[in-house]
A and B are shown apart, each in its own frame.
Chain A
Amino acid sequence: MVFTEAKRYYVERRVWERMAATDSPSFTHYFARLRTDTHDEIQQFVNAFTVNETYFYREDYQLKCLTNDLLTERLGDKPAGDAIRIWSAACSTGEEPYSIAIWLLENWPRVDQYFIEIVGSDIDSRVLDLARAGTFGKRALMRLPPALIDKYFDALPAELWRIASALRDSVSFTSVNIVEPDQTRPHGQFDIIFCRNVLIYFDDASRRIAAENLYENLLPGGFVCLGHTESMSRISPLFEVRRFADAIVYQRPGITRS
């Protein structure tokens, strides 16, 4: 991988991301960690530079937030049996939407009380094909406890694992460019949207359009989760910032609470 001065921002983003992930108070601290390869940091650092390569249970504090707070709020005005719609708006090869499904199965005892619909979308049709196939390597599974791998994946030769077919059926995949309203609108409105580490790749104008589209795709009172280095407040005034115990998320205002 070669990074010129023009890619400075891209590089810095990833260094910050790793510093945040390792709780490093300064670059000096982080650099020491990298040099000594503490907790496999070199590999983690390299991973941070590989676009499209995400992994299961990434930024799981937001998944905690989902089951601890967001769903409870969304259920306020929903009778049992109603739909809960969750959108992974830039899902790459499917790790995020499948993670959401596994997380709900493992951590949300009311999972059978609502009709949960999980949609994974991406602009890149090749990654969507991979997402539908649901075959993953060791790196994608590195954060999943082995018991969950046994439970929800079938081992294939060559250190590959395929997600159980039942789980594959619980996520639907669609192609979408989130900067194009004509493509986002048909997806309808969601209770919760995950759009993590995507907007950082856009310029200001596209970012603003994407934010407006996300807003339109949310039900009033619905939430959008961004990556931990991203802030919606910098992009758009449409959302209310909500701070929960596990994460900060952005909410489309509009419901009157009783």
Chain B
Amino acid sequence: MSAAPKTILVVDDAALVRTYYRSILEGAGFQVEEALNGLEALETLLGGMVDLLVVDINMPQMDGLTFLRTLRQKQGPLAAIPALVTSTESAEADFAAAREAGANFYLRKPVEREQLVLFARMLCGVAS
């Protein structure tokens, strides 16, 4: 019997990007939830845990790095949800900033389908 599907929260302000990642991740057997920015992501997480966050950096209201910093300071299991940051920013300083904010991994956009699935599986501990 296979385990229950892992849930991923995609946090990105671009609807088409959310749809894109959703279709890729659902195709790989994940359940997907969406949030438009860091604030909405925090609210979504109040409603239930997820197994992985896929987080964009540049977003209105609350950007991805602020979101991760806020999340990592929380008490309990929320603070430890693995986070995969995806961004068009690709300088060494951006990687460093993401690491400091508490990212577990960083993929530069455009993200290849196979890469997204590969790292989502690894960060969720799903055998592939």
Contacts and interface: CB of A to CB of B under 8 A. Distances in A.
Interface of A: 79-81, 101, 104-105, 109-113, 115-116, 118, 151-152, 164, 166-167, 169-170
B15 A112 contact: no
B110 A81 contact: no
Contacts of B61: none
Contacts of B15: 166, 169-170
Given A101-B19, A116-B16, A166-B22, 19 more contacts: A81-B58, A81-B89, A105-B19, A105-B20, A105-B23, A109-B112, A111-B20, A112-B12, A112-B14, A112-B16, A112-B20, A112-B21, A112-B111, A115-B14, A151-B23, A166-B15, A166-B34, A169-B19, A170-B18
B16 A118 contact: yes
A230 to B, nearest CB: 28
Contacts of A80: 88, 109
7 contacts: A101-B19, A105-B23, A109-B112, A112-B86, A112-B111, A113-B110, A166-B34
Contacts of A79: 88
Interface in B34-60: 34, 58
Interface of B: 12-23, 27, 34, 58, 86, 88-89, 109-113
Central interface residue in B20, B34, B89, B111, by most chain A CB within 10 Å = B20
A166 B14 contact: no
A112 B108 CA distance: 10
Contacts of A113: 88, 109-110
A105 B112 contact: no
A101 B15 CA distance: 10
B59 to A, nearest CB: 10
A111 B88 contact: no
Contacts of B111: 112
Nearest to A168: B15
Contacts of A104: 16
A109 B110 contact: yes
Contact of B16 (A81, A111, A151): A111
Contacts of B34: 166
